[in-house]
Amino acid sequence: MKKTIVQTALETIQLEAASISGLSSFINEGFDAVIQEIADCKGRIVISGVGKSAIVAQKIVATLNSTGTPALFMHAADAIHGDLGMVQQDDIVLLISKSGESPEIKVLVPLIKNFGNTLIGMVGNTDSYLARSSDIILNTTVSQEACPNNLAPTSSTTAQMVMGDVLAVCLMQINGFSDHDFARYHPGGNLGKRLYLRVADLYKNNESPKVFPDTGLKQVIVEITEKRLGVTAVVNNDNEVTGIITDGDLRRMLEKTNDLSNITAKDIFSPSPKTIEPSMLAVEALELLRKNDISQLIVVEDGRYAGILHIHDLVREGII
């Protein structure tokens, strides 16, 4: 009976999952030795491979670089045609190969050994040339490829990819790699912004609407309208915040009051508004906005009114 597409999909997932869980038995003293060797490295980690393993190598290089471990990609075929010059004396070389018998690998290994660099083999065959030649082995053996012909690299490349992630995460722990370090390496994109973008980076682009307690209603409306933030701060003569007036406050006042001739800011404002300091992270501002179900925060620096942070500022920067 012919398999259905769903059956094939589920079997593929199961085989790939098995390739990952099988790695647990390879986390041993040899693995610990690899981590310690890389952690003590004074140079870079040069990672190489051929075919699908080369693609995996590029991904591992990207992950290591972004998590604080300097790494370079070197294609095994290009290495023997000049790229081997990127390997420096203090570097560690990590070669990735399922079979450990690829012609390019067999040519490259003796050259690396002659250079005197530590050679780590991430290999799926512990009886292979690469395994025998490596100083340390990372075992990524899988029992079966997810390919129906057991040929195309599928489960094996999944195992390689996960082992690379395991390396990166363990090195992060050893190196004490923090969220602040992550932000330094990811200044672009939403991830980086959530870790480094501060209120001070946002509110200064806005107008700073403010009125005094005795400011008349007309001027209050003009201030809110001209500054286009839907709000104005109410401050005293020392520029200390005493309250806030929003569009909503104006509407509620108009619903309750017929005589508008003598109304001033002190008759409308809401006391004890939510404030935030410029040094706080933008994500902390977002949490405060959401918690209080509001759209603006008053920015206060050294106890004095500094400006307005609007939720649209966070939207514009991709924080939301």
| CATH classification at residue 34 | 3.40.50.10490
In this predicted structure, what is the pLDDT of residue 23?
Answer: 96
Question: Is the domain of 261 the same as that of 292?
Answer: yes
Domain count, the chain: 2
Query: Does the pLDDT of residue 228 top 70, yes or no?
Result: yes
Give the range of the structural domain holding residue 157, as residue numbers without chain letter.
5-177
Q: What is the pLDDT of residue 25?
A: 95
Position 188 in a domain: no
Residue 184 lies in a domain: no
Residue 192 within any structural domain of the chain = no
The reply to whether 194 falls in a domain is no
Q: Looking at the predicted structure, is the pLDDT value of residue 1 above 60?
A: no
Residue 128 has pLDDT above 60, yes or no: yes
Q: What is the CATH number of the domain that holds 290?
A: 3.10.580.10
Task: Work out the mean pLDDT of the chain and round it to a whole number.
Answer: 93
Instruction: State whether 162 and 259 are in the same domain.
Output: no
Q: Are residues 127 and 236 in the same domain?
A: no
Predicted pLDDT of residue 184:
73
pTM above 0.75, yes or no: no
Residue 220 lies in a domain: yes
309 DSSP assignment: E
Q: Give yes or no: residues 173 and 205 share one domain.
A: no
Residue (of 143, 112, 199, 116) closest to 17 by Cα position: 143
Write out the E strands in the chain. 45-49, 71-75, 92-97, 118-123, 136-139, 210-211, 231-235, 241-246, 270-271, 275-276, 296-301, 304-310
Residues 16 and 150 in one domain: yes
Say what the pLDDT of residue 190 is.
66
The answer to whether residue 255 sits within a structural domain is yes
Q: Are 42 and 85 in a shared domain?
A: yes
- Inside any domain, residue 87: yes
- pLDDT single digits (tens) 3-62: 799 999 999 999 999 999 999 999 998 899 999 999 999 999 999 999 999 999 999 999
User: Does residue 209 sit in the same domain as residue 79?
Assistant: no
Cα dihedral: 89, 90, 93, 94 (round 10):
180
pLDDT tier for residue 302 given thresholds of 50, 70 and 90: very high
Q: Are residues 297 and 160 in the same domain?
A: no
pLDDT of residue 40: 95
Domain identity same for 152 and 244: no
Residue 118 belongs to a domain: yes
Residue 195 or 92, more confident = 92
> Which of the listed residues 132, 162, 177 is the one where a domain comes to its end?
177
Highest mean pLDDT among 1-5, 27-31, 177-181, 194-198: 27-31
For the chain, the C-alpha Rg in angstroms (whole number) is 30
Q: pLDDT digits over 206-225, tens only?
A: 999 999 999 999 999 999 99
Model confidence at 179: pLDDT above 60: yes
Q: Residues within the annotated binding site for Zn(2+)?
A: 75
Instruction: Report the candidate in 96, 94, 91, 89 with the shortest Cα–Cα distance to residue 120.
Output: 94
In whole angstroms, what is the distance from residue 49 CA to residue 36 CA? 22
pLDDT tens profile 135-176: 999 999 999 999 989 889 999 999 999 999 999 999 999 999
Say whether both 141 and 256 belong to one domain: no
Q: Are residues 39 and 93 both part of a single domain?
A: yes
Residues 156 and 62 in one domain: yes
